[in-house]
Structure 1
Amino acid sequence: MKITVHSSKVVKPAAYAGVDAAATTTVIPLTAFDLISYDNYVSSIHAFHPPSPTNAALEDALSRVLAVYREWAGRLCVDPSGRRRGILLNDAGVRFVEASSDAAFESVVMPRRGRITPEVRSLHPRAASGGGAAAAEDEELLLLQVTRFACGSLVVGYTMHHAVGDGFAAGQFMAAWGQTARGVPIDPVPVHDRTSFFLPRSPPRVEFDHRASEFRHRDDVDNDNHHAAELKDEQVVIQSRASGNGTKQQHHHRPYSTAQCLVAHIWRCMTKARGVNGGRATTLHLAVNGRPRMSGPRLIRGAVARVDNAYFRSFIDFRLVSTYRPNRSFYRCSYD
């Protein structure tokens, strides 16, 4: 399969397309959660059957949706105080790449056993600093590529910096772009206030041991034994209580989701495969979405249930108050 790139351009928010990027100096500080999360780029691809909008229509819709999602067209920076990283709302724009393939989409070799194929890598743009590196101050936070196949299928691939949004936010942005292309109102409308929602309490109250949860000593990381395991081509179907009975239930009777059951199953299998004896404790780290709080089965459910509003507020106090000082002896764990 051959991918031919026809154009690569910067698309700016519609209302700011003629504005000098350097003339805008508003900075949105990164939140306590942004600061400990992935400091690099993540990628995803989305495939669509024909028919699909033209590239010109997608570019126009992108420009208009960026007027609502201005952070995505900004750049990473350090705030005027020089103490905190943030997003500069300079409307510098996002990268928009147009490409095509001489093959049918069915010929693309999808990832197998965790291996990303060269074909898949060519379907999303690569950041100038590299997919796994932090962004330079003048580098786009969002890069998009639209690839049209001979069969009429369309693939939209994106590469975005995790500081501008997590997977949930990326999904909302993509949906908003699609809604704009169809000429329907954006729903839901994004909330841009990253400041007032995540202020430390007065007085601060660090109620939980965040150094033991969100952070680890570098010595512990260096001494870890990492084992790679290859999964066989078998489909594991976990049913049980994963789907529930379809009726509304009380919170403590909520059915287990498929994802939660799968995580518990994998955790158990990995522990057995590594030969961990019964007297040793193992730990599973979960990325908890703070929007609608997650729940899980038994051990997982109990651990996540404790991550409530008080826990998130405690972490904000821990991360942002003056008594906290990050140092090189701690390893950053990534959370969404």
Structure 2
Amino acid sequence: MAGPAASLRFTVRRKAAELVTPAGPTPRELKRLSDIDDQDGLRFHIPVIQFYRRDASMGGSDPAAVVRDAVARALVHYYPFAGRLRELEGRKLAVDCTGEGVLFIEADADVRLEHFGDALQPPFPGLEELIFDVPGSSEVLGTPLLLFQVTRLACGGFILAVRLMHTMADAQGLVQFLSAVAELARGAAAPSVRPVWDRELLEARNPPRPGFAHREYDEVPDTKGTIVPLDDMAHRSFFFGAREVAAIRSHLAPGLRKRATTFEVLTGSLWKCRTVALAPDADEVMRMICIVNARGGKQGGASAIPAGYYGNAFAFPVAVSASGDLCANPLSYAVKLVKEAKSEVDVEYMRSVADLMVQRGRPHFTVVRAYLASDVTKAGFGDLDFGWGRPVYGGPAKGGVGAIPGVASFLIPFKNGKGEDGIVIPMCLPGPAMDKFVEEMGKLLRPAVDVPDMFPAMIKSAL
């Protein structure tokens, strides 16, 4: 449960932001986003950050110049990213492919990579300097859809921060684009994956006919002040390696112990411990929203989401429970509800969400008494190599999602200071609730007494 070098102070000298345009001609057209893309809960810019060591084989190559040139060439293939969003009738978003380009900032910092500590994880010190919010750049409409900042470090390493307008792509779509940039930076003539737009695949039907309950979009009044201002929050990150996951899994019923995925085990645990920590009234309805990717789903053929699709292809299925039931029942209760919610998502579920968006004016997912978890362990941020090798850390720059504090966490792949692979999960809670959360999670990290003989085998298979 370690944190970063929170007291670290350093100075970043930035050059003026510039626009990087596609390196060749691109079509001028208006491309509609899907009805999944333009929902209210995705209308924000999301930051990711990559830390790279110095690589002697790169000689005197300037990472800022290498990345800038590769971005320009990648934008020829992904030219919608160089455009600007417009809003059409019915709050429909479309990208005007103007070729105006993306924002790029070149910077230097008087700090070395090792000063950030052995275990890089959110929240990062000086983040506002490493991904500078250029004034006027963070609106939804009429602003650049991507912002890059390459910050050279005193040790010869560098930090690449990227901010994406989420309506344009999800984590997998962003990694697909950044992989194209990385391939071109390493000398490829063209990206190995052909980008696919095809946003009409996730358009609403006419007339819309949602086929699922979609309680993730319930309209719930915040009658008891459950959305807490960010200033009152404590930030901690929690590491779950094979031993920790096995310990939590040991608390599950035998059948679920074998069937539940690591995501389901961790998400159920976080939901239960967080609810106990916040201590809502027993009759308050709590929601656990799970990000579930619909790529490679149950349906094949023409209805499936094609390889190379870089739009948003995920849903927000939700597990629902009264607070009292969640707190009083064994962990298996929460994990089972999460598992059932996730199992609903396929292409038909996605079409149902698209229908609901059009029918109800593109609502935001429910944030009142809700908690959201997004698994980026398989997104591929840790594989992005621009010529300097794989990053020391690659992934979300912050612990939360969107502009609402404390309602979301990422599951991020991580190697701790002992060299153990695992998952790190940033958590944001009011101070006293954080203390209670740590206490509750500590109980689950002690293996259940009925599985001492199985525990070593469970550790081996945990991650």
TM score, norm. by length of structure 1:
0.78
Give 1:300's aligned residue: 338
d(CA) in 1 for partners of 2:218 and 2:192?
Answer: 36
Choose from 179, 185, 188 the match for 2:193.
188
Give 1:152's aligned residue: 156
Preserved contact between residue 242 and residue 258 of structure 1 (Cα < 8 Å): no
Judging changes above 3 Å, is the alpha-carbon distance between structure 1 residues 190 and 49 closer, same or farther for their aligned structure 2 residues? same
| Superposed displacement of residue 318, structure 1 | 2.8
Instruction: Report the secondary structure of 2:31's partner residue.
Output: strand
> 1:1-336, aligned counterparts within 5 Å?
1-16=10-25, 25-36=28-39, 37-51=41-55, 52=58, 53-54=61-62, 55-79=64-88, 84-108=92-116, 115=123, 117=125, 119-129=126-136, 134-137=139-142, 139-184=143-188, 185-195=190-200, 197-201=201-205, 204-210=208-214, 212-217=215-220, 220-226=221-227, 230=234, 235-237=239-241, 238-240=244-246, 256-275=260-279, 281-293=285-297, 297-320=335-358, 324-326=359-361, 331-333=364-366
AA aligned to 1:68 is H
Preserved contact between residue 216 and residue 365 of structure 2 (Cα < 8 Å): no
Unaligned residue ranges in structure 2 (runs of 5+): 1-9, 250-255, 298-313, 318-333, 375-463
d(CA) in 2 for partners of 1:230 and 1:112?
Answer: 18
Preserved contact between residue 7 and residue 99 of structure 1 (Cα < 8 Å): no
| Superposed displacement of residue 112, structure 1 | 9.7
Residue-by-residue CA offset, 1:71-105 (whole Å, 9 max, x unaligned): 211101134x6862211111110111111122212
| Superposed displacement of residue 123, structure 1 | 1.1
Preserved contact between residue 20 and residue 103 of structure 2 (Cα < 8 Å): yes
Unaligned residue ranges in structure 1 (runs of 5+): 244-251
| Superposed displacement of residue 188, structure 1 | 2.5
| Superposed displacement of residue 319, structure 1 | 2.6
Residue-by-residue CA offset, 1:235-272 (whole Å, 9 max, x unaligned): 454323999xxxxxxxx998544333221111111122
Judging changes above 3 Å, is the alpha-carbon distance between structure 1 residues 93 and 267 closer, same or farther for their aligned structure 2 residues? same
Preserved contact between residue 13 and residue 64 of structure 1 (Cα < 8 Å): yes
Instruction: Report the secondary structure of 1:240's partner residue.
Output: helix
Give 1:249's aligned residue: none
d(CA) in 1 for partners of 2:47 and 2:98?
Answer: 23
Structure in which a larger fraction of residues adopt strand: 2
Moved more, 231-240 or 58-67: 231-240
Moved more, 227-236 or 181-190: 227-236
Root-mean-square deviation (Å): 3.5
* Matched-pair identity in %: 23
Between the two proteins, the alignment pairs up a number of residues equal to 308
Residue-by-residue CA offset, 1:100-125 (whole Å, 9 max, x unaligned): 122212224799996553x2221113
Judging changes above 3 Å, is the alpha-carbon distance between structure 1 residues 315 and 153 closer, same or farther for their aligned structure 2 residues? same
Residue-by-residue CA offset, 1:53-87 (whole Å, 9 max, x unaligned): 523332221111011111211101134x6862211
Judging changes above 3 Å, is the alpha-carbon distance between structure 1 residues 200 and 159 closer, same or farther for their aligned structure 2 residues? closer
d(CA) in 1 for partners of 2:87 and 2:110?
Answer: 44
Residue-by-residue CA offset, 1:13-57 (whole Å, 9 max, x unaligned): 1113xx8xxxx6511112111121321211121011122552333
Residue-by-residue CA offset, 1:171-207 (whole Å, 9 max, x unaligned): 2221111111112342322211212x12334664321
AA aligned to 2:67 is L
AA aligned to 1:50 is R
| Superposed displacement of residue 140, structure 1 | 0.9
Judging changes above 3 Å, is the alpha-carbon distance between structure 1 residues 93 and 331 closer, same or farther for their aligned structure 2 residues? closer
Instruction: Report the secondary structure of 2:288's partner residue.
Output: coil
Preserved contact between residue 241 and residue 256 of structure 1 (Cα < 8 Å): no
| Superposed displacement of residue 277, structure 1 | 6.8
AA aligned to 2:169 is G
d(CA) in 2 for partners of 1:105 and 1:114?
Answer: 15
AA aligned to 1:191 is V
